[in-house]
Chains A and B, each alone.
Chain A
């Protein structure tokens, strides 16, 4: 496993193969997260790559990091925010000042409960969530981070992470429920139209 203590120890001693393996394992996730902040793929790639360069250059102290995975996400977040800061020419931007977080486009095999229309509805409902809530949802769903890791990345408490996720799920569920009700309401209308012709 790329995040095992053993692997990290090898990387800290300069094992290029293990390091490459770590990059291959986690770079998709980190890039997805970076692209939530920065829409341009080129720049996001550059930021994630800068994080890896920094990790390699400071590899001697890697073993002191408690959770390397969460740490990588923190680094990506910090670099993204400082990139936005530079471009916006504003002095202070924190997660609170963030206007939006972009959720990746998803695809899903059709199943009993999901078809293209429902997928689209869920996606739209995610888009409507407040930015931080979206970020929690995205980190939990798309990056598979645990509450504790999300809390570390976003500098909020685990309880708040939980609240965001519960709120998100409730909103998504509600939006799916609304459609069902609408369909039921419109059904008799169709019959009326049929009769009147």
Chain B
């Protein structure tokens, strides 16, 4: 009975993502023990990670802005919606057929949509133009849909993999801080995390154009297999081969590195394991690794990396400290 209580306590913590690595190991041990509850636990796990409330639209933002008297682009959307509604109402009196048509039009009025993804999750969705997007944990995308005008613009915070639906007349533009990635129809990955000075774009198919914001005036093109690192501080692009055969492996929970510096690897480890990883000197930070991990625990990854190229590391409750081997 005690074991059972412990199991649920660990499970609750795991789902609330506050489990320490030791506790996680204990939980895995209990679950591996073929308990009668295993199937129920797996069902609950799936429910917790995959079931979401039905999405419904609401007017909280519009209401608040009206009360506060904000005037900006967001308001004009609601106004145009309002105009459509009146028009639909008038025509409804004139002809049922016509109003039916207009009702469809009304549903198509542009509105700001937000897609977000909680940490430790990966979500896939499709935009109104057929573009497929995979969002990595803790990332979000803003878009005004359906797209109108000369281009399809979205804003990205965090990391996402795109499979853009081809449309030569409306280029697809991903905006990240100080950078625009312009495409016609391709597959590529953008990683633009707020805690990293460097943004990365990896291209798998087609062609993309990268434009730094105006005051830098820099731009460059990528071809499949290339990776661009953009440094927002000096506006420079650094282009290398990304060497990855599977596009955006993080979608399946896989971490892979190709000739990558420890400095940039630890940022990915920090996100995946939600812990702090500190590299104390650049001698260790500049070590380069090529590796792939799927569900190895953090400790194992660190051990394997430090065996490949020597460095010292200490794991504490607050996180991990890495320094070069003396």
B100 to chain A, nearest CB (A): 26
Q: How far is the CB of A68 from chain B (nearest CB, A)?
A: 16
Contacts of B326 in A (CB 8 A): none
Say whether B44 contacts A122, CB under 8 Å.
Answer: yes
The yes or no answer to A16 lying at the interface (CB within 8 A) is yes
Contact A107 B15 (CB under 8 A): no
The residues in B between 1 and 26 inclusive whose CB is less than 8 angstroms from any CB of A are 5, 8-9, 11-13, 15-16, 18
Instruction: Choose the segment among A80-88, A93-101, A137-145, A183-191 that binds chain B (4+ C-beta atoms closer than 8 Å).
Output: A137-145
> What CA separation (Å) do A196 and B42 show in the bound complex?
39
Most chain A beta-carbon neighbours within 10 Å: one of B58, B72, B116 = B58
B44, B72, B116 interface centre (most CB from chain A within 10 Å): B44
A105 near B: Cβ within 8 Å? Answer: yes
Enumerate chain A residues within 8 angstroms of B46, measured Cβ to Cβ. Answer: 108, 111-114
Taking A16-B72, A104-B53, A109-B50 as contacts, is the C-beta distance between A53 and B12 under 8 angstroms? no
A180 CB–B CB distance under 8 Å:
yes
Chain B residues whose C-beta falls within 8 Å of the C-beta of A146 in the assembled complex: 16, 18
Judged by a CB distance under 8 angstroms, whether B68 is at the interface is yes
A121–B12 alpha-carbon span in the complex (Å): 19
Interface size for A (C-beta < 8 A) is: 51
The answer, yes or no, to whether A8 is at the interface (CB within 8 Å) is no
Tell yes or no: B126 within 8 A of A by CB: no
User: Once the chains bind, are B54 and A104 in contact (CB under 8 Å)?
Assistant: yes
Given contacts A104-B54, A108-B52, A173-B44, whether A20 and B70 have CB atoms under 8 Å apart is yes
B157–A45 contact, CB under 8 A? no
A119 to B61, CA, bound (A): 32
> Number of B residues whose C-beta is below 8 Å from A?
47
Partner of B60, one of A23, A144, A169, A177: A23
The answer to whether B58 touches A41 (Cβ under 8 A) is yes
The answer to whether A106 touches B52, judged by C-beta atoms less than 8 angstroms apart, is yes
Q: Which residues of B contact A71 (CB under 8 A)?
A: none
Is there contact, CB below 8 Å, between B44 and A107? no
Q: Does A49 sit within 8 A of B, measured CB to CB?
A: yes
Asked if A105 and B54 sit within 8 Å, CB to CB, the answer is yes
Q: In the bound complex, do residue B60 and residue A108 qualify as a contact, i.e. CB atoms below 8 Å apart? A: no
Can you name 11 A-B residue pairings with CB atoms under 8 Å? Answer: A23-B60, A45-B58, A49-B60, A105-B54, A107-B54, A112-B46, A142-B53, A144-B118, A165-B15, A169-B12, A170-B8
Q: Point out residues on A near B: beta carbons under 8 Å.
A: 1, 4, 16-17, 20, 23-25, 27-28, 30-32, 41, 45-46, 48-49, 52-53, 56, 104-109, 111-114, 118-119, 122, 140-142, 144, 146-147, 162, 165-166, 169-170, 172-174, 176-177, 180
In the complex, given contacts A31-B60, A119-B47, A180-B39, what are 11 additional A-B residue pairs having Cβ atoms less than 8 angstroms apart? A1-B157, A24-B61, A30-B60, A41-B58, A105-B53, A106-B52, A113-B42, A113-B43, A173-B40, A176-B39, A177-B40
